[in-house]
Structures are given as structure tokens and as C-alpha cells.
Amino acid sequence: MEEARNLKKKKKISAGQVISRIWIVVMLTAAIFPIYWMLNTSLKSQGEIYARIPTMIPQNITLEAYEYLLLETNFVSGLRNSLIISVFVSLFSILVAYPAAYSIARVRFKGRKFFSKVVLFTYLLPTSVLYIPLYMFVSSLKLSNNILGLMLIYPTFTLPYVAWILIPHIASIPLELEEAAKVDGCTRFGAMYRIVFPLALPGIVSTTIFAFAMCWGEYLYALVNISSREMQTFPLVLSALIYGDMPPWNELMAGAILACIPILIVYMISNSALVGGKMAGGVKQ
Amino acid sequence: MRKRKWMRTLAAAAAVLLSLSACSGSGQETEAAAGADTSAAAAAEDTTKAEEATESGEKKTLTIWVEKLFSDEVNAATEERVQQFAEETGIEVKCEIINSTDFVPRLNAAIEGGNAPDVTYTDTTRTMNYYPNIPYLDVSDLVDEIHEERGYFESMYTSTQIDGVHYYVPYCSSAVIMYVRKDVLEEHGITDMPQTWDEVVEVARQVTDPENDFYGLAMGCGDNDDDDDNTWRQWMWNEGAYMYNEDGTIAITDGNLWAQQLDMIGGLYEEGIYPPDCTTWDAGGNNTAYIQGRAAICINGPSLYVSLRDDEENKEIFENTAIVAAPVGTENGIYMNYPRGYGITKTSLYPEDAADLIRYLLDADWYNECFEITAPFLSPCFEDSVVSDVWDEEVNALIVDYARNASGYYGYPVNTLEGRAVASKHFFTYPACRMVNQVMTGTATGEEAVEEAVRDIEDIQDTVH
């Protein structure tokens, strides 16, 4: 009797599990399908792309689009430029935004709320409002048509973003841990970097990845500031492929696929740092 | 200590305010355009800068922005030609080939930043969108000189003149032709190609077969479908429906013609002669539908012809396609003119050299050869360019005929500067597509769509007057 009841219970649970797994598969398919479609399109010929009935699997797989992109355009140099800018700006943003976020989260000073709101408002300023003033600024420094100009511009949106995300993250770290460190002779600066920083690392890493991605795919600032082929970032190279009213979707999708790779690598490298629960048991409640 | 904190707070607040005030220039096309400084003081300052540069022995530098064309060969040839000019004159010339979607935001930023190139590719709508701060010099004398020397098509010369002034030197023109699936028409016993809009509609009705996902007419009306905005507009003109009068006043309500035409189009959509998804198309939607074999008739530029001709996978449709002149209406056969050319910016330090560069690009030998390579993408705009056999070929001849006879422009038949400015700014909202979309999707009747368009035009008029 007891066994039969347990079996019934097990069955009920497994039905729930089946539904949840189906749900996961549906959601995963929805999430992965656009990426699959990018890959699928990048391997098709223009004729097949414009076919009346879209093919789920390319009928004649061709690497023409990749070949064109890598050998006949400046896509590779565009990737290199984007990489240099994104690495520099994301690291610089963390370097500057972390102490700013720490100050706002931890230090009590007049105007703290004001600064906190300023960070948010600066983040909310739309790119379309800023691109001309920033172009003028960079031009006056003779840095237009140079990736250094973009390195100067991009922190205007990554810094407030990183700071805004880190403020609540740092605030969530128990103050008692810092106080304990101070009791043991640690300075505030020391506590900021030796106690809080490692504990905030998952947040810092994920924010850095987002900052990297923001710079990686940025288009408008690059468009107005960069004119020479040597200085172009990869979004500009891809955009230049579009002219007329019949875009070469296979080349564009090949570019998008190749452009995903560095983001994936960055994510995979930093994956080990994205571990939560470091503070668990750190404070006795 | 407390005072110091206050000082810091004040300094931070001031910094934020300053940064916000620096942001007050808008990135939007129109507003950015309004900031272009064209004052006499600025011009005088530029002259002084040029004199200083010459006195200090600095090498003259010109920058030219050319819009990327469909043909890589021509883009490369243009760059090469510009470099030849640089070698011959000793002037350093920077040539940038920029694709059309990137052109305007880059130009806006460059104008605002005081870094506008000396010469840019432009057209009337783009130029007038900057009104009242048109960033280009009056080049009427240069155009007249070239006209006297080579003889522009009359249509090109007159339609690029705004209130008696040329703001750019006409260089080329695009055209629109009609693609018809002759095999499908033959299946239905139709042997004569349609020549008027009424005939197009009649043929489309006969061949439409929604059950097999086949439609008579590939015309779209999505949010950004600039291609079809032109076609709808042309159809309206041909039936006597205009948006503006010659003096720039609103004509869209005159005789209720627009509303009637829109209701008629809404009815055709219900009948099923347009693909149901045409309300979401962009400019590539009609080409795609035609290439996919979903439509019998498509009105488009020559880019579709080249795609059909050059792609082996489109061979069957290409062989079954008849290419004929765009249809005319019951009132007239006005064709929309698409002239493009080169303007010299008011901030150019060396306008005379910039004019020489444009003359160099219009040198008959090079120019004519270049357009023969491009054919049929673009039509040249000189009588002496079309004497070659190349232009006798069927499609090429159609393109040239179109350019030679096209007389319409955005805002047609407006003659005033302000009226053309309103029409140009209004064009960038793709109003014809918007109205057609409203009637097709049933969100408005023809009359309601027109009323909304009137309000939009009045809003733009308020910003211009």
C-alpha cells in the first residue's frame, strides 16, 4: 500500500517534471532560434535566401559569405579595432566606476543621493542626443577618425552604467565584514579593495561583460567619428555592406556570427568568477 | 570643511549642467540641420583661415564624400579619379565612399562639428531638409557653365533648380521601370503589356491568385518604405492628386482626390491584389516578392533588373520578365525625377578648387565611360553621354528615357523655396506610405488619413515659416 502510494506520488512529480522540461525546451528553442537562423542564413546563397519558401537547413551549404567578409573586406581589422576599444573601455570603466559606486554605496556625504541620481540620469541620456556634441568634443581634440576618440567617448555611457549596476551590488555586501576588517587594522581603502572587491567580483565581472558588449556592438558614435577604413570598427564594416534595397543577408549574418565569438570567449573566460554565495555564512544573523 | 563639501557639490552640479547644455543640439536630422552655421561671419572667418593656411605654406586639402553606388567598379573608379585630380593639381584630396544610410547622420555631425567636407554627394530633398541653414553654396554659375559646355537633359537642369538657384551640380539620375511576368500574363491570355495605372490594376486583378500566394501588384507601405512612397506618390500625381500647390500651400484635400484614391487602394487590398504582408515591407519588400515569384508586376529601380540578370538562381524569372516603362495616369504621365549631384559646402576653405574637382568628375570622357560601366543602375544626365550604343540597349534606353522626361520632385509642383523645404522635410516621414498603410490596415478611411497628413504638413510648415 505504502509502495503504491509512493509510486503514485513519483508519477505525479515526473509529470510536472515533464511539463517543466518541455517548457525549458520551448524557451531554449525560442532563445537559440535567432542564432541558428543567423548561422543558417550565413551558409546560404543569395538565391536561396530570397527563395519563396525559407529553408530550415541550407540546401547548398556555401562559405562564400565568410570568404568574402574575411578576404575582401576590412572586417578583420574592424574586429581588431573593436576588440582594442572594448577591452580598454570596459576595464577603464570598472577601474573608475568601482570606487565611485563604492563611495555612493558606502560613504555618507552631502549630495550622495544627488550624485546617485546624476549617475542614473547620465546613463539614461539617449545616444542620439549626445552624438553630435561628443563628435564636436572629440574633433576639437583632433581625435576624430581615430579609435582613441572612441575610447574617450564610450566611457560616457559605460561609466554610468557600470556605476549604476555596482551601487546596489556593493550595498548588498554586509557592512559588518568591512567593520571586522577595520577592527583588524585594515584601512577604508584596503577594505574597499581587499574585502568588498572580491565579494563583489561576480557583479563586477558580469557588469564588465555587459560594458564590453556595449562597446563591441556600438554603431552610431563609431559612424560619425570614424571615416577611414583602417580605423573602422566591425559594425561599420558590416553596415557598409548594405546598399541598395537587396541587402546581402548571408554576408551580414556571417559577420554577426563571427562577431559573437569574442563575446562568447569573454564570457567563457570569466565564467568561473560568476559564482554566487561567497558571502554565505560570513555574517552571524 | 563643510564649506569645501558645498563647493565640491556645486562644482559637480555645474559640470553636469554644462554637459547637459552641450547636449542640447539634437541628433535628429532636421534639428541637426538647423544648426548648420551659414552666416556671413562664418564665411568671412573661413576665408581668413584659408588665407592663413596659404600664407603659412600649408598644403591645400579637400575632402569629398561620395555616396556608395551599387557598382563596386564605379566606386573604385570614382576614388581613382579623385586621386588623379590630386596628382594633377598637387592638392591633397581625401575621398570617402559612404553608404546612403550612414550619409546623413555623418554629415549632420560633421556640419555641427565644423568639419563638413568640401564637396558632398547630395540631392534636392537632402539639401532642402537643412533649410533655412542650407549648408551648400549657390553653384548656379558652375552649373550654367557645364550646361553650356555639355548640355544637361533639360529635365535635370530644371528640376535641380530651386527658386532659380542650383545648390548642387547635377551628376546622375536614377529611374523607375516596370517588371512584368509575361509568362503569367500569357497564361491569362493577356498579350499587351499594361501602360496605364488602370491597365496595371486590371491586369493585376486578372492574375491575382491568393490561394497560391500569388498577387498582381508588389507595392508596399511599411514604415520605412521610401521606394514605394515614391511609387504611390507618382500614381497619385498621374491621377491628378497632389499634396501641394505651386505656391507651397496644401493641395492634398483638393477635390477629395487623395482620399478617393486611397479608398480605392484600400479596396484593392481587400480584393487581394497586393500581398497581405505588404503593409510591413521596407524598400526591399517589393523586389523580394517579385524575385520569390509572388507577384506579377513590380515597379522598381534597375537594381532588381541587375539582381535578376546576374543571379543564376533567378534565371527563370528573368527570362519570363518583360521590362517596360512605368505606367502613366489618366491625368498625366509625370515621372518622379531622382537627380543626384555634388554640392560645395559653405565651410569649404577652397570653394574654387572644390569646383575644379567637380568639373574634373564631369569631364566628358571619363564620365561617359564610367556611366557605361554602371548601366543600367544610373542614368547620365548629359545629351553627349547617351550617344554610345550602350544606351540603345532595351533597359538602358528605358532608363535614359525616364531621366530625360522625368519632371516630378518631392512636393511637386511647388516652386517656392519654403514650400520645397516643407515638402522635403515631410518626405522623410514617408507620408504616402503612411496613408496607404492606414487604409489597407483599416485604421483610417481615406479622408481620415488625409486629415492626419494635413496636420503633419501644418506642423512642419510651422517649423519652417
A181 vs B193, more confident: B193
Considering the domain architecture, whether residues B324 and B353 belong to the same structural domain is answered as no
Classify residue A142: in a domain, yes or no.
Answer: yes
Phi-psi region of A68 (alpha: psi -120 to 50; beta: other; left: phi over 0): alpha
Query: CB of B107 within 8 A of CB of B116?
Result: yes
Give the per-residue SS3 of chain B. CHHHHHHHHHHHHHHHHHHHHHCCCCCCHHHHHHCCCCCHHHHHHHHHHHHHHHHCCCCCEEEEEEECCCCHHHHHHHHHHHHHHHHHHCCEEEEEEECHHHHHHHHHHHHHCCCCCCEEEECHHHHHCCCCCCCECCCHHHHHHHHHHHCECHHHHHHCEECCEECCEEEEEECCEEEEEHHHHHHCCCCCCCCEHHHHHHHHHHHCEHHHCEEEEECCCCCCCHHHHHHHHHHHHHCCCCCECCCCCECCCHHHHHHHHHHHHHHHHHHCCCCHHHHHCCCCHHHHHHHCCCEEEEEECCHHHHHHHHCHHHHHHHHCEEEEECCECCCCCCCECEEEEEEEECCCCCHHHHHHHHHHHCCHHHHHHHHHHHCCCCECCEHHHCCCHHHHCHHHHHHHHHHHHCCECCCCCCCCHHHHHHHHHHHCCCHHHHHHHHHHCCCCCHHHHHHHHHHHHHHHHHHHC
Considering the domain architecture, whether residues B200 and B279 belong to the same structural domain is answered as yes
Q: What is the mean pLDDT of residues B259-264?
A: 97
pLDDT tens digits along B388-397: 999 999 999 9
Question: Please, what is the average pLDDT of chain A?
Answer: 89
Classify residue A158: in a domain, yes or no.
Answer: yes
pLDDT tens digits along B170-182: 999 999 999 999 9
B23/A118 touch (CB, cutoff 8 Å), yes or no: no
Considering the domain architecture, whether residues A50 and A93 belong to the same structural domain is answered as no
Considering the domain architecture, whether residues A82 and A215 belong to the same structural domain is answered as yes
B27/A45 touch (CB, cutoff 8 Å), yes or no: no
Is the minimum CB–CB distance between A74 and chain B shorter than 8 Å?
A: no
- Residue A266's pLDDT band (cuts 50, 70, 90): confident
Closest Cα in chain B, distance from residue A66 (Å):
19
Q: Is the pLDDT of residue B203 over 50?
A: yes
Classify residue B390: in a domain, yes or no.
Answer: yes
Considering the domain architecture, whether residues A140 and A194 belong to the same structural domain is answered as yes
- Residues B15 and B18: their CA atoms lie apart, in Å, by 5
Q: Pick B96's closest partner by Cβ from A137, A227, A246.
A: A227
- Residues A104 and A97: their CA atoms lie apart, in Å, by 10
Of chain A, the percentage scoring pLDDT greater than 70 comes to 91
Considering the domain architecture, whether residues A58 and A132 belong to the same structural domain is answered as no
- Residues B227 and B231: their CA atoms lie apart, in Å, by 7
Considering the domain architecture, whether residues B72 and B151 belong to the same structural domain is answered as yes
Closest Cα in chain B, distance from residue A275 (Å):
37
Classify residue B439: in a domain, yes or no.
Answer: yes
Closest Cα in chain B, distance from residue A150 (Å):
15
What residues in B contact A52, CB-CB < 8 Å? 213, 292-294
Q: Pick A239's closest partner by Cβ from B102, B113, B114.
A: B102
Considering the domain architecture, whether residues B133 and B195 belong to the same structural domain is answered as no
Q: To probe the interface with A, which of B102, B226, B311, B377 has the most A CB atoms within 10 Å?
A: B102
Considering the domain architecture, whether residues A12 and A104 belong to the same structural domain is answered as no
Considering the domain architecture, whether residues A116 and A189 belong to the same structural domain is answered as yes
Specify the pTM.
0.82
Classify residue B423: in a domain, yes or no.
Answer: no
**Residue B201: how many CB atoms within 10 A of its CB?**
21
Q: What pLDDT score was predicted for residue B12?
A: 43
pLDDT tens digits along A146-196: 999 999 999 999 999 999 999 999 999 998 888 888 888 889 899 999 999
Is the minimum CB–CB distance between A125 and chain B shorter than 8 Å?
A: yes
What DSSP state is assigned to residue A218?
-
Measuring CA to CA, which residue among B93, B425, B450 is closest to residue B254? B450
Q: Is the pLDDT of residue B24 over 50?
A: no
Residue of B nearest to A222 (CA): B106
Q: What is the mean pLDDT of residues A64-86?
A: 95
B426 vs A128, more confident: B426
Closest Cα in chain B, distance from residue A238 (Å):
11
Q: What is the mean pLDDT of residues A197-201?
A: 91
Q: Pick B99's closest partner by Cβ from A47, A51, A242.
A: A242
Q: Is A186 exposed, middle or buried (0-12, 13-18, 19+ CB in 10 A)?
A: middle
Classify residue A47: in a domain, yes or no.
Answer: yes
- Residue B39's pLDDT band (cuts 50, 70, 90): very low
Closest Cα in chain B, distance from residue A60 (Å):
12
- Residue A3's pLDDT band (cuts 50, 70, 90): low
Q: What pLDDT score was predicted for residue A4?
A: 64
B27/A135 touch (CB, cutoff 8 Å), yes or no: no
- Residues A198 and A179: their CA atoms lie apart, in Å, by 16
pLDDT tens digits along B127-145: 999 999 999 999 999 999 9
Classify residue A171: in a domain, yes or no.
Answer: yes
Q: What pLDDT score was predicted for residue A122?
A: 85
Classify residue A275: in a domain, yes or no.
Answer: no
Q: What is the mean pLDDT of residues B74-93?
A: 94
Q: Is the pLDDT of residue B37 over 50?
A: no
Classify residue B440: in a domain, yes or no.
Answer: yes
Q: Is the pLDDT of residue B157 over 80?
A: yes
Q: What is the span of the domain harbouring residue A148?
A: 73-240
Query: CB of A156 within 8 A of CB of A134?
Result: yes
Considering the domain architecture, whether residues B314 and B351 belong to the same structural domain is answered as no
Q: What pLDDT score was predicted for residue B183?
A: 97
Q: What pLDDT score was predicted for residue B45?
A: 53
Considering the domain architecture, whether residues B165 and B206 belong to the same structural domain is answered as no
Examine the fold and report which residue of A64, A94, A111 is the final residue of a domain before the chain moves on.
Answer: A64
Residue of A nearest to B214 (CA): A52
pLDDT tens digits along B401-456: 999 999 999 889 998 999 999 999 999 999 999 999 999 999 999 999 999 999 99
Would strands B165-166 and B161-162 be described as parallel, antiparallel, or unpaired?
antiparallel
**Residue A82: how many CB atoms within 10 A of its CB?**
25
Classify residue B72: in a domain, yes or no.
Answer: yes
Count up the domains in chain A and report the number: 2
- Residues A151 and A84: their CA atoms lie apart, in Å, by 9
A132/B293 touch (CB, cutoff 8 Å), yes or no: no
The CATH number for A198's domain is 1.10.3720.10
Q: Is B213 exposed, middle or buried (0-12, 13-18, 19+ CB in 10 A)?
A: middle
CA distances from B331 to B327, B336, B361 (A): 12, 15, 39
Q: What is the span of the domain harbouring residue B65?
A: 39-174+339-405
Q: What pLDDT score was predicted for residue B47?
A: 53
Considering the domain architecture, whether residues B135 and B280 belong to the same structural domain is answered as no
Give me the interface pTM, i.e. the ipTM.
Answer: 0.75
Q: Is the pLDDT of residue B310 over 90?
A: no
- Residues B372 and A48: their CA atoms lie apart, in Å, by 30
Considering the domain architecture, whether residues A77 and A14 belong to the same structural domain is answered as no
B105/A115 touch (CB, cutoff 8 Å), yes or no: no
